[in-house]
Copies of this chain bind each other. A is one copy, B any other.
Amino acid sequence: MAVHHVGLTISTKGKGTYEITEAVAKTVTDSGITTGNVTVFVRHTSCSLIIMENADPTALRDLEEFFERLVPEDTPYFEHTAEGGDDSTSHIRAVLTRSSEVIPIAGGKMQLGTWQGIFLFEHRRAPHRREIALSIAGD
């Protein structure tokens, strides 16, 4: 067995979902590993990961709108607002989604289902450079 560490940087334009499936798939192919796992880890607390339907843009819009309502910006009781009304909001949305995902690899490919895409979910209003740490382990 072997293990590879790869870093991935994503530039976001502010709030929304950014698909990274192809970028992750490329690191798997480049690793030469045919059976194992890829771990995807986001190195931030105000953006997160989701695995989501990637065919119909309205599915992503509904999800984004749901989070706008579940954890609103400028929530009156939030104290942690030094960076703006999206500060605690961003951290809580991140906690409700994922920091790490692990996807099995078989036959040299990630075992994603037909409709699954991996997305960076940016929770901050402003553009950010986001770092993702990947490790690919297996034979």
Residues of A that sit less than 8 Å from B by CB: 1-5, 35-37, 39, 41, 43-46, 50-53, 56, 58-59, 61-63, 65-66, 70-71, 77-80, 82, 87-88, 91-92, 94-106, 111-113, 115-116, 131, 133-135, 137-139
Contact = CB atoms under 8 A, between A and B. Distances in A.
B104 A88 contact: no
A75 to B, nearest CB: 8
B113 A131 contact: yes
B91 A65 contact: no
B79 A62 contact: yes
A88 B71 contact: no
20 contacts: A1-B2, A4-B35, A5-B35, A5-B111, A36-B137, A37-B135, A43-B116, A51-B95, A53-B91, A56-B82, A58-B88, A59-B87, A61-B80, A62-B77, A62-B91, A63-B91, A63-B95, A98-B99, A104-B135, A137-B138
